[in-house]
Structure 1
Amino acid sequence: MSTRGPRGPYAKSAAKRQLILDAALAAYAEAGSRGVSVRDIGERVGLTDAGVLHHFGSREALLTAVLAARDVAAAERYGEEESLWRPDLLAENARTPGLVKLFVDLAAAGAEPGHPAHEFFTERYETLRARYTGALADGRAGAPQEREADAAWAARVLLAATDGLQVQWLLEPSIDMAADIARLREVLLAALHGTAQG
């Protein structure tokens, strides 16, 4: 069995697609809060708008792929465990407002079932809820069903707070997202482990 990667036109297409994704990630990371056009991305890789979209099918599919690539890069850099509340990851988000704005915009648009980002966000939240439920339930006393239910609630609250803080931060950049999420995490863990102060 051959272990070689794809060859011929498919390999070239896959390589070009990756080149476009890398260019788009860089464009959004550097963009600040202003938008990035398909033309901006195309200029970085020597393609027209149509040439860029040829590899993704639509602008929305391209932008969804950019967010997926961002998640992959973050997992490779920081690891998947507890990545949501890592201060260094949240601090990196604060250095890339263009990517944060893209995430917020697509998350809202992806609520529509027909949107190209719908499946991405549905799967992303299912995966994150499951991962953080497990992390938050670890070491907690009580019946398994109760632990799971409480940890699932805490995971939803933590995800909701993170996304909501990103919106507030776009409007008011002085907000320290990393510190706020770290503080919320401690409050939730204290509540789950029965050490919250009354």
Structure 2
Amino acid sequence: MAARGGYAKGRARKEQILTEAVRLFAASGYRAASLRELAQRCELSLPGLLHHVGGKEQLLLAVLERRDADDAAEAGLAERTGRERFEALLQVVARNRARRGIVELYSVLSAEATAPDHPAHAFFVRRYARLVDELAGAFTDCGHPRPRSAARRLVAVMDGLQVQWLLDPDGVDMVAEVRRHLDAELPPPAPG
């Protein structure tokens, strides 16, 4: 039984580290975030932190995956199809307004990760492929004639709006703009 208890404690500690890392990266950005500060927040030594996360690059990837998983779970993306999936996506866009640091982290890292040797390159390649596939499925459900193309345009609109919002948070309403884009892309819902 001791092994199970130790495993559960290790998982709980890793969850604590990821939660604090998301907060730290959101507040400071990836480059400025210090592993020493993260260790202090988690009441760990630096070697103890590294034991759980490996290194800053591995921690970064875990944070990126965690953020996507949290967004999907909170919005219920997995359970929704068609128009309901787009409404859930709009919830994520709205949620991002309160997470400037994470939006900034994603925007910067997605651009940096175009370099094949970047530690997050494979993550972003997989993420964009998965996102386009999922959105193409939702566009297919809605009867769009070119669902894959529509999915790529939607991703481009969302990413571009995030950068514009970062530059002018009071002048860019990401939710309204994404909704307008979806209204233009989708056929009107069937009556009834």
Question: For this structure pair, what is the TM-score category when the shorter chain's length is used for normalisation?
Answer: 0.7 to 0.9
**Corresponding residue number in structure 1 for 2:136:** 133
Render the CA deviation track for 1:22-67: whole Å, top value 9, x for unaligned.
11123345x2879533233222101244433332222122122112
Partner SS, residue 137 of structure 2: helix
Q: Which runs of 4+ in 1 moved over 4 A?
A: 8-11, 32-35
CA distance in 2, matches of 1:58, 1:106: 17
Partner Cα separation in structure 2 for residue 104 and residue 183 of structure 1: 22
Pair 1:38–1:83, CA change in 2 (3 A): farther
Mapped to 1, the partners of 2:118 and 2:8 lie a distance apart of: 28
Give TM-score scaled by structure 1 length: 0.77
User: What is the rounded CA distance, in whole Å, between the counterparts of 1:52 and 1:101 in structure 2?
Assistant: 25
- The answer to whether the aligner puts 1:166 opposite 2:162 as a matched pair is yes
Counterpart Cα distance in 1 of 2:22 and 2:139: 31
Q: Is the CA contact (8 Å cut-off) linking 2:14 and 2:52 kept in structure 1?
A: yes
The Cα shift of 1:11 comes to 4.2
Cα separation, 1, equivalents of 2:113 and 2:11: 25
The TM-score with structure 2 as length reference comes to 0.80
Q: What is the DSSP-based 3-state SS (H/G/I as helix, E as strand, rest coil) of the residue aligned with 1:95?
A: coil
- Counterpart code for 2:147: A
Q: Which amino acid aligns with 1:93?
A: N
Q: Give how far 1:79 is off.
A: 1.0
Structure 2: unaligned runs, 5 residues or longer:
none
RMSD: 2.6
Residue segments in structure 1 that go unaligned for 5+ positions in a row: 142-146, 194-198
Aligned pair partner of 1:111 in 104, 110, 114: 114
